[in-house]
Chains A and B, each alone.
Chain A
Amino acid sequence: MGAGSLIALTIAAITFSGIAILVAKLITKATTNKQKGEPYECGVPTQGPNWVQFNVGYYLFALLFLIFDVELIFLFPWAVVVKKIGWTALVEIIIFFFILFTGFLYAHKKGALKWK
């Protein structure tokens, strides 16, 4: 099986979800009233806008994640060949981790990891 199987699986997922939603739509009876479409909030009318502000910390963690995720992508090809290359690979990765960790410590010192 080649890359075509991914397309087959994607089509299978779309058909499965599509048919499930379509069948449900065909056999259910929709009714409407004034309160039905209101956003759920424990039975009382919602206060203020629904797209509320959330903690800025989420962005900081997302930025940090980006750095480490890129690092992880670099590590994948390294991990495949490390056994063949041997000690050089280990020394290189220690230097790589050292630089990365310095940045991480800097972020930690700046309080990026603190949840305010």
Chain B
Amino acid sequence: MWSLQNIADSVQHWLYATFNPTIAMLIEFAIIGVLAIGLFSMLGLVLIYMERKVSAWMQLRLGPNRVGPKGVFQTMADTLKLIVKEGMTPNGADKLLFNLAPFIVMISAMVILAPLTFAKGFQIWDINIGVFFIAAISSLSVIGILMAGWASNNKYSLLGAMRSGAQIVSYELSAGLSILAIVVLSGSLKITDIIASQENGWWIFKGHVPVWIAFVIFIIAVTAETNRAPFDLAEAESELTAGFHTEYSGMKFALFFLAEYVNIFVVCALGAILFLGGWMPLHFGTGTKFNEVMDYIPSSVWFFGKTFFLIFVIMWFRWTFPRLRIDQLLNLEWKYLLPISMINLLLVTLIAILNWHF
């Protein structure tokens, strides 16, 4: 049976058999780069279309429906529009930082793809501190955001960037603590090990109440980390116009927008890997007919299915909860989520030591 793993292996085998090792490695890197750029573009197109259709569905509207069948080419039309727009730099802006910021946000969004497992045995680099790597790189994008806000020479941008910085760094703590809960249970930081530990059941089923609490905290924290509603204070349209990217136009704005959606994908993929078993199919018991049927579905479908389910949940939040105020937002993190996730981590440790999980 052919799978993404087999294709990747045979391509690698063919490359190393045909060329000398250095050239083969360079070609491999080029393939990785092209695939990552392709994934970026596809995610941009799919997620923005999905966002619009989901919000239209929740508000009893039709959403985009003119360009192409059911409006599927709407995002492409918007991208075309953004390309022909002039990307201007306002007077008095710090030109270097202003132009550098989109690059930093894009680099951090792309490098983070390295340890993600897209299907069984299909990932760019199985780094042994995978989860830690993701946590580290995901906090880099805040530098780009602060840079953009500071360099814009605009009050809205500055305030938006400051809010965004405070929010992202605060919520990183409880996101990190809920990631640690799974690390304690599986005993490894490596993504493949974490997925392998869920072979007989996903952590959300195996880990009892503490893992559910960790999962809920994780979803709240990543919603805040990606600046999504109800935590979208950084770009609250009614208060700050567009937050840190008020002064950006044309392609530079498009890059910020793209990086934002890719970040949503990445955190949801991380949630799917940690709590919902990554590419592991849904199993009940051992050796039943149901398990065989589930095994027949390709692992990439499982991974993307779970990830897009989580993305849908985060889009659902946007139309369910009203936006918080900055003090409420920080209160929620420091007075509730952080203590709860610390105590929850102790509970998880107790479960792990007593081997109470299945």
Contact = CB atoms under 8 A, between A and B. Distances in A.
Interface of A: 1-18, 20-21, 23-25, 27-31, 36-42, 46, 50-52, 54, 57-58, 61-62, 64-65, 68-69, 72, 75-76, 79-84, 86-87, 89-90, 93-94, 97, 101, 108, 113, 115
A13 B103 contact: yes
B170 to A, nearest CB: 6
B268 interface: no
Given A6-B125, A42-B241, 14 more contacts: A5-B124, A12-B36, A15-B37, A16-B110, A17-B103, A20-B255, A24-B84, A37-B91, A50-B155, A57-B330, A61-B169, A76-B183, A90-B350, A108-B335
B250 interface: yes
Interface residues of B, number: 81
B178 to A, nearest CB: 11
Contacts of B252: 21
A17 B350 contact: no
Consensus secondary structure, chain A interface: helix
Given A5-B29, A39-B247, A79-B183, A94 B346 contact: yes
Interface of B: 25, 28-30, 32-34, 36-37, 40, 82-92, 102-103, 106-107, 109-111, 113-114, 124-126, 129, 132, 150, 152-156, 158-159, 162, 165-166, 169-170, 172-173, 176-177, 180, 183-184, 187-189, 241, 246-247, 250-252, 254-255, 326-327, 330-331, 334-335, 338-339, 342, 345-346, 349-350, 352-353
Contact of A76 (B150, B180, B187, B254): B180
